[in-house]
Amino acid sequence: MSRKPLSRVLLVEDDPDVQVVASMALSELGGLVVEVCGSAPEALRTAPVFQPDLILMDVMMPGMDGIAALEALRKDPRLAATPVVFMTARAQSHEVARYRELGSLGVITKPFEPESLAETLRGLWEGRDV
Amino acid sequence: MKAPLKTLTDEYVVALREYLEGGGEAPLFRAYQIGRSALGEGLGVLEVAALHQEALVHDLLLLLAPDESPTIAKRASEFFAEALAPFEASRRGFQEATGVLRDLNRQLQLRIEVALKDYQAAQDKLDERRRMEALKDEFISLVNHELRTPLTSIHGALGIINTKLGPELPEEARRLLEIAYRNSRRLARLVDDVLDLQKIESGMVTFEARVQPLRPLLEHAVEANQPYATQLGVTLVLEDAPPDVQVAVDGDRVIQVLTNLLSNAAKFSPSGERVAVSAASGHGCWRIAVTDRGPGIPESFRARVFQRFAQADASTTRPRGGTGLGLSICKAIVERMGGRIGFETEPGHGTTFYFDLPMEGAPGGADASACPESR
């Protein structure tokens, strides 16, 4: 399973308030190093520099949505192996299944529980196929 | 000369001679028969005229005597007319048939036009309905997103304050924060429930029915809801449930129904009590029942149990923390699966909520009428 513990997370979220809350939940409560991007194109530019262990990304974003961003990430050899976890309004089980098929590591439902957000990501990180 | 034509010519010569010589019905009738044969052979009027000509010039002119010639000429033309009669009849028949066909055609065309118009109208209506449904679908998905985004930051912010600063806050502030945090969670559940109910009732949710054993679904539901029941001092118990029963259902949805029924039952049970889950068969159905030892449902409330936002006593809402939509959702789900939901209650002794699922392989399949009205 995993060799190194989860430490760097790139958060991709268009809503500024959710950005603050989610990044605080991950860093202040969860002890992770977090970088925030407000859009998918920004994330595609930032990720190769920041080199996250995992990307936590909103699905519904204006312009390029999370699904398109995931496809773009998978085409970039530097980022193809970086796990992506989606954040979304509650999805039906077949939608979750579709996100998995597209190659996401997991789905986190909004609103999330701030105390356990980092823990949930760590669980997905530990449980991933390497 | 082709064989049939040769025969016809011979017959024609014989019959014509007979008629020219003596008149009478019989040779005329034969002329008619010859005409019909010619028509049957696919010969035309001109060819019959040629027969006539041939017969006349062949040897009949010999018969001609000057004083008799008008009679003979008259008979020759009568004979010829008779031989052509079948052609005439055929032409008239053809004309009539053409007329009838033309009428039929016109009627058909009219009917097709009407049908096409009806079809187009129905198609337009369907398109309109699809457009409305798509709009509604989009609207709901937007509402879902738009409600959740602020809810996420409210819930997240409160959670972070609660965790990070909670212990340092004065008692009163901590209580208020706790109330706000709990209610943001409740609001999230309410959004879930409203959208869920809307989706199920509008048929937007696809139910993925799969044949599967019933017992593991019940076990799963009991296990998943035990932590919540434990907080209330209630024990969930799986009682009679045959081990090898198969049902054709959407497992997630059955668990959703059971979760609602179990959390209701736990909420209304006195601390220290048990809530029992059981399954039994009857009338082509499996009846799954959740029984509590709570206060029972007051007579005055029974008719409204499955109505949205109906709760027996407004004062029960807050401490028990429901959204008021749980049983409406259960009803919608069970009915979508072709089942039926109901309850039996005895004030002071408890309540049993049950739902019936069509038995796998039972005649009628998803036909709810196969299920009994009550036990």
CATH of residue B283: 3.30.565.10
d(CA A50, CA A73): 14
* CATH label of the domain that carries residue A116: 3.40.50.2300
Task: Assess if residue A29 is contained within a domain.
Answer: yes
Asked whether residue B349 falls in the same domain as residue B321, the answer is yes
Inform me whether the pLDDT recorded for B3 exceeds 70: no
Tokens of B371: 């299920």
- Report residues of chain A scoring pLDDT below 50: 1-2
> In the prediction, which pLDDT does B368 show?
42
* Whole-prediction pTM: 0.58
d(CA B340, CA B38): 78
> In the prediction, which pLDDT does B68 show?
66
> Pick from B38, B34, B28, B32: which is nearest to B2 by CA?
B38
Task: Assess if residue B230 is contained within a domain.
Answer: yes
Q: Which of A16-30, B95-109, B116-130, B147-161 has the lowest mean pLDDT?
A: B95-109
Asked whether residue B247 falls in the same domain as residue B346, the answer is yes
Q: How far is A81 from chain B (nearest CA, A)?
A: 29
Domain count, chain B: 3
Q: pLDDT-derived band of residue B9, with 50, 70 and 90 as boundaries? A: confident
Task: Assess if residue B131 is contained within a domain.
Answer: no
Asked whether residue B306 falls in the same domain as residue B342, the answer is yes
In 3-state terms, chain B is what percent helix, strand and coil (to 5)?
Answer: 65, 10, 20
Handedness of CA B252, B253, B257, B260 (dihedral sign): positive
Closest CB from B163, B192, B206 relative to A90: B192
Task: Assess if residue B118 is contained within a domain.
Answer: no
The pLDDT tens digits of the residues spanning B139-187 come to 877 787 888 889 999 999 999 998 888 888 898 888 888 889 888 888 8
Task: Assess if residue A42 is contained within a domain.
Answer: yes
CA distances from B126 to B200, B201, B202, B240 (A): 21, 19, 16, 48
Task: Assess if residue A3 is contained within a domain.
Answer: no
- Which positions in chain A touch B159 (Cβ < 8 Å)? 25, 113-115
Which of A13, A14, A17 has the most B C-beta neighbours within 10 Å, making it the best mutation to test the interface with B?
A: A17
Which of B178, B201, B224 terminates a domain? The answer is B201
> A117 to chain B: nearest residue by CA?
B156
Asked whether residue B193 falls in the same domain as residue B233, the answer is no
- Say which amino acid occupies B201: E
Task: Assess if residue A46 is contained within a domain.
Answer: yes
Task: Assess if residue A114 is contained within a domain.
Answer: yes
Which of B184, B201, B218 terminates a domain? The answer is B201
Asked whether residue B66 falls in the same domain as residue B155, the answer is no
Mean pLDDT of chain B: 82
Task: Assess if residue B114 is contained within a domain.
Answer: no
Asked whether residue B306 falls in the same domain as residue B330, the answer is yes
Domain count, chain A: 1
Tokens of B184: 């943001």
Task: Assess if residue B124 is contained within a domain.
Answer: no
Q: Is A21 in Cβ contact with B153 (below 8 Å)? A: yes
> In the prediction, which pLDDT does B374 show?
40
Which of B54, B81, B102 terminates a domain? The answer is B102
B360 burial via Cβ count (<10 Å: 0-12, 13-18, 19+)? middle
Query: In terms of residue numbers, what domain contains A71?
Result: 8-125
> In the prediction, which pLDDT does B61 show?
66
Asked whether residue B262 falls in the same domain as residue B157, the answer is no
* In chain B, % of residues over pLDDT 90: 19
CA distances from B326 to B147, B154, B196, B234, B298 (A): 20, 24, 10, 20, 18
Asked whether residue B229 falls in the same domain as residue B194, the answer is no
Asked whether residue B143 falls in the same domain as residue B187, the answer is yes
- Which positions in chain A touch B206 (Cβ < 8 Å)? 92, 94
d(CA B360, CA B248): 6
Question: What's the mean pLDDT in B316-320?
Answer: 48
> In the prediction, which pLDDT does B362 show?
46
Task: Assess if residue B155 is contained within a domain.
Answer: yes
Task: Assess if residue A26 is contained within a domain.
Answer: yes
Q: Which of A41-45, B25-29, B94-98 has the lowest mean pLDDT?
A: B94-98
Which of B143, B146, B147, B148 has the most A C-beta neighbours within 10 Å, making it the best mutation to test the interface with A?
A: B148
Closest CB from A17, A25, A90 relative to B160: A25
Asked whether residue B145 falls in the same domain as residue B238, the answer is no
Task: Assess if residue B256 is contained within a domain.
Answer: yes
Asked whether residue B236 falls in the same domain as residue B352, the answer is yes
d(CA A37, CA A23): 11
Task: Assess if residue A13 is contained within a domain.
Answer: yes
Query: In terms of residue numbers, what domain contains B83?
Result: 3-102
Closest CB from A17, A60, A114 relative to B145: A60
Asked whether residue B348 falls in the same domain as residue B265, the answer is yes
> In the prediction, which pLDDT does B375 show?
38
- Residue pairs spanning A and B at CB distance below 8 A: 69
d(CA A8, CA A26): 10
- Beta partners for B290? B277, B353
